[in-house]
Structure 1
Amino acid sequence: MTGCGDVLENMRIMEEEIRALIDKIEPENVDLFLSEMVKERRIYVAGAGRSGLIGRAYAMRLMHVGLESYVVGETVTPAMREGDAVVIFSGSGETNSVVDIAETAKSLGGYLCLITSHKNSTIGKIADCVVELPSPTPPENEWENTFEIRQITGGYKSASLPLASIGTLFETSAMIFSDAVIASIMEVNLCGIEDVMERLNNIQ
């Protein structure tokens, strides 16, 4: 055992990677995304694996700040209506199950937003709004379209190098980005912490 030094150093390296990534994000796309989030509409959130967990956390926070949000695939999620927004978290933008959701949302007249590291992906090409959290990506022939195959075979490659070869950089930056969006939504909608506290789960 070497103590906690290596862990803390890894945290510092990841912090540096996140800082470098933030400087590469296109502000106009962030502004567009935020403007779409504060419109009067339902917001559906989707993603696979760890990206899906980030999406679920984002959907919960949207509810906490007073927006009508749902997670795609939940039993209590209502039918999407034309004009509703769908937010997809996908580092690759190529995962088959999430591509299917994106294509279905577009066919139903939904407004499709993508948070990704790969703006020229299959989902990126059909999305109405793309926020790219840019990071080095593996060669195209290394992408496996099926998330389950990547997990089962141990061949999961995310758009997160050099330190975070299993997806940490995208997912960590996506979590930070989504929390920053929530903070901005609170400012735009004049939602205070007291309003959030009133919406926290009180029957768990």
Structure 2
Amino acid sequence: MMRLMAQKIQSIADSIADEEVDAFTHAILSANRIYVMGAGRSGLVAKAFAMRLMHLGFTSFVVGETITPAIEKNDMFIAFSGSGNTKSIADVAQTAKGIGSTIGLITSNKDSTIGIIADVIVVIESQRDAVTDESHEYDIRQMMGEHKSFAPLGTIFETTSMVFSDALVSHIMEITQTSEGELKKRHTNIE
């Protein structure tokens, strides 16, 4: 199952548009503060991303936490939503948009409620039909058919979102020339 998931994540990674990543990265680098949100397991990915942004030296917040301040015009709101239609996230995105914040969306559905108002979108196509990778000895589609329990309830979106956001952190580290030592200095020391 891990090999099957890794193949699926690789095929999704190959489909992500460089232009989307560049625009998303530029928006993050241009923001005063960054607010992230997701629901359920996607919310856990959003929290992990907010933590890494903090390690990079960004001012980042998780929407819904008691210490999250008011969002402002030059801030960025990033939604992690496979459907792009999760009502609670869409409502927050619309509020942030009305204030003038930049809206970022990591999704598998760019033609969604949040996608329509987003300024930058990275499409993680977890809902696509399985594809055959000629470098592997089996057809992912066939394997998925044989394993009905393969990646239930959005697992591939969540896992790929986590891998993508960690890769984005590495990309930003290179752009900003931030060392792992600098990240370590910001890592909590009171656990």
Q: 1:40 to 1:93 in 2, by over 3 A?
A: closer
Spell out, residue by residue over 1:130-165, the C-alpha distance to the aligned partner (whole angstroms, 9 max, x if none): 100012269xxxxxxxxxxxxxxxxxxxxxx98323
Number of the residue aligned with 2:170: 183
Q: 1:37 to 1:134 in 2, by over 3 A?
A: same
Aligned residues: 173
SS, match of residue 66 in structure 1: coil
Number of the residue aligned with 1:77: 68
2:51 maps to which of 51, 57, 60 = 60
Number of the residue aligned with 2:94: 103
Spell out, residue by residue over 1:73-120, the C-alpha distance to the aligned partner (whole angstroms, 9 max, x if none): 111111111121000000011111111111111011110000001111
Query: How far apart, CA to CA, are the structure 2 residues paired with 1:63 and 1:112?
Result: 19
- Equivalence map 1:103-182=2 (5 Å): 103-136=94-127, 163-182=150-169
Q: Is the 8 A contact 2:76 2:101 kept in 1?
A: yes
**Which consecutive unaligned segments of at least 5 residues does structure 1 have?**
1-9, 139-160
Higher relative contact order (CA 8 A, sep 6+): 2
**Which consecutive unaligned segments of at least 5 residues does structure 2 have?**
130-147
Query: How far apart, CA to CA, are the structure 2 residues paired with 1:130 and 1:40?
Result: 15
**Which runs of at least 4 in structure 1 moved beyond 6 Å after TM superposition?**
none
Query: How far apart, CA to CA, are the structure 2 residues paired with 1:58 and 1:198?
Result: 17
Amino acid at match of 1:38: L
TM-superposed deviation, 1:35:
1.0
Q: TM-score, normalised by structure 1?
A: 0.81
Q: Is the 8 A contact 2:96 2:103 kept in 1?
A: yes
Number of the residue aligned with 2:136: none
Spell out, residue by residue over 1:26-54, the C-alpha distance to the aligned partner (whole angstroms, 9 max, x if none): 11011100111112510000111000100
Q: Are 1:201 and 2:188 matched, yes or no?
A: yes
Q: 1:104 to 1:52 in 2, by over 3 A?
A: same
Query: How far apart, CA to CA, are the structure 2 residues paired with 1:182 and 1:31?
Result: 13
Number of the residue aligned with 1:32: 23
Q: TM-score, normalised by structure 2?
A: 0.87
Q: Are 1:46 and 2:37 matched, yes or no?
A: yes
Q: Is the 8 A contact 2:37 2:43 kept in 1?
A: yes
Q: Are 1:90 and 2:81 matched, yes or no?
A: yes
